[in-house]
């Protein structure tokens, strides 16, 4: 009996390292799985932020190139909008904005200080804008007006696509009109930006995509 007990004890001792290795292997597999999941989440967040920035930049381009279809593509159909004296749907805001944009000689919008928080298929972003509008002056001639403020946006991802579902635009500064010394018609032809579809952006992009 004593000899059998010693054999059992010895067998148990021999099994301990194998059990330890199995447990260690299981723990390592769990850690690897968690690490892989964490990496996937971080990559998804980075891709989401990059796609959201593209939407913000596209919004600026849509204003500058007077590309109404591009502006509308930044928002989901039921998106809401509050900016300046406008409050309503983003779809109606597009119509409101283009009554102004279509009458501008030139526009330039800069987007900066972009911060984005991603939570699953929703995101919250803040960015700053600085804009210039060249327009006809009421008393004759032309004038430039400069604006700065922020956009606060709620984004949603649907079918892998990010668009704005709620926008709050804040207008922090509007300059006094600055009389223009050189009329827009005297700007060097072919040497400055134009509107959709004549701007070189559309021409060069189409050539790029066709190859």
For the chain (211 residues), the mean pLDDT of every run of 10, in chain order, is 60 58 63 74 96 98 97 98 96 96 97 97 98 96 98 98 98 97 90 92 96 92
CA atoms of 49 and 163, how far apart (whole Å): 12
Q: Quick one: CA torsion of 94, 98, 99, 104, rounded to 10 degrees?
A: 160
CA-angle at 128, arms to 134 and 169, nearest 5°:
80
Q: What is the pLDDT of residue 189?
A: 83
CA atoms of 40 and 48, how far apart (whole Å): 12
Long-range contacts, 169-173 (Cβ 8 Å, 24+): 169/81, 169/82, 169/83, 169/84, 170/83, 171/83, 171/84, 171/147, 172/148, 173/146, 173/147, 173/148, 173/149
CA atoms of 109 and 71, how far apart (whole Å): 13
Contact 64, 107 (CB under 8 A): yes
What DSSP designation does 121 have? T
Q: 42-209 in CATH: which number?
A: 3.10.450.50
CA atoms of 83 and 100, how far apart (whole Å): 14
Q: What is the pLDDT of residue 191?
A: 86
Q: Quick one: CA torsion of 56, 62, 63, 66, rounded to 10 degrees?
A: 180
Q: What is the pLDDT of residue 141?
A: 95
What's the burial of 64, exposed, middle or buried (CB within 10 Å: 0-12/13-18/19+)?
buried
HSE, CB side, 13 Å, CA atoms: give it for residue 205: 7
Runs of H (alpha helix) within the chain: 2-64, 68-72, 90-101, 200-209
- For residue 132, give both structure tokens: 């210039």
């Amino acid at each position: 009996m004593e000899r059998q007990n010693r054999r059992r004890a010895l067998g148990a001792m021999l099994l301990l390292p194998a059990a330890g290795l199995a447990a260690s292997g299981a723990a390592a597999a769990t850690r690897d799985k968690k690490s892989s999941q964490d990496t996937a989440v971080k990559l998804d967040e980075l891709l989401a932020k990059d796609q959201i920035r593209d939407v913000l930049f596209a919004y600026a381009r849509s204003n500058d190139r007077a590309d109404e279809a591009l502006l509308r593509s930044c928002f989901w159909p039921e998106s809401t909008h509050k900016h300046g004296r406008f409050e309503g749907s983003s779809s109606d805001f597009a119509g409101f904005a283009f009554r102004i944009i279509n009458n501008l000689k030139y526009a330039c919008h800069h987007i900066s200080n972009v911060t984005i928080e991603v939570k699953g298929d929703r995101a919250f972003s803040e960015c700053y804008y600085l804009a210039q509008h060249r327009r006809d002056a009421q008393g004759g001639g032309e004038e430039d007006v400069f604006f700065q403020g922020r956009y606060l946006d709620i984004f949603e991802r649907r079918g892998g696509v990010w668009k704005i579902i709620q926008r709050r635009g804040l207008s922090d500064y509007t300059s006094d009109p600055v009389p223009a010394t050189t009329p827009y018609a005297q700007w060097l032809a072919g040497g400055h930006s134009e509107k959709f579809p004549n701007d070189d952006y559309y021409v060069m992009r189409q050539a790029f995509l066709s190859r």
